């Protein structure tokens, strides 16, 4: 666990490495493979904290799931592939990919610890990166603060 000087962090006096979801910086790594605009929150963070270094990660790619890949849903602590049609996702359950998500989350934690990240800006609603997602929970479990945004 790290000792965190929150006053220095938020006063922008202490540069830090910040873990960030790759999709939030505009990289095309989401399940559908399309590039989205960079998050306005991340853009603002970079502007307000110019000495910080972003450490981009995608737990799903680290797990070898590829891009594009089938969409997934969480159910009772497990992660399953499903269909692209949101209206049918409740009825469609495919392969259990929980072990891959755990592997990607473990790789994400290893990177965060190696780079001494104390903060992670992660994609809200992601089955990996959300605060309630597998990587989000694992990162919080080692003392890394999670900020969810989209």
Q: What is the pLDDT of residues 42-85, one digit of tens each?
A: 999 999 999 999 999 999 999 999 999 999 999 998 999 999 99
Output the pLDDT for position 121. Answer: 98
39 in a domain, yes or no?
A: no
Output the pLDDT for position 99. Answer: 98
Average pLDDT, the chain: 92
68 in a domain, yes or no?
A: yes
4 in a domain, yes or no?
A: no
41 in a domain, yes or no?
A: no
26 in a domain, yes or no?
A: yes
Output the pLDDT for position 89. Answer: 87
94 in a domain, yes or no?
A: yes
Whether the predicted model's global pTM rises above the 0.95 cut: no
Output the pLDDT for position 150. Answer: 87
Structure tokens belonging to residue 94: 């495919």
131 in a domain, yes or no?
A: yes
> Domain count of the chain?
1
9 in a domain, yes or no?
A: no
Low-confidence ranges of the chain (pLDDT < 50): none
CA angle centred on 141, ends 67 and 16, rounded to 5°:
75
Distances (CA, A) of 22 to 33, 50, 61: 12, 18, 10
Give residue 23's domain range.
Answer: 16-34+48-149
């Amino acid at each position: 666990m790290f000792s965190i000087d929150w006053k220095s962090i938020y006063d922008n006096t202490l540069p830090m490495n910040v873990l960030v979801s790759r999709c939030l910086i505009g990289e095309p790594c989401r399940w559908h493979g399309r590039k989205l605009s960079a998050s306005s929150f991340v853009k603002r963070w970079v502007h307000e904290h110019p000495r910080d270094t972003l450490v981009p990660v995608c737990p799903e790619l680290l797990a070898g799931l590829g891009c594009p890949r089938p969409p997934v849903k969480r159910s009772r602590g497990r992660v399953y592939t499903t269909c692209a049609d949101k209206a049918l996702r409740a009825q469609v359950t495919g392969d259990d990919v929980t072990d891959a998500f755990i592997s990607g989350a473990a790789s994400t934690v290893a990177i965060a610890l190696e780079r001494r990240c104390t903060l992670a800006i992660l994609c809200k609603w992601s089955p990996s990166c959300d605060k309630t997602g597998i990587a989000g929970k694992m990162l919080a479990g080692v003392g890394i603060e999670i900020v969810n945004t989209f």
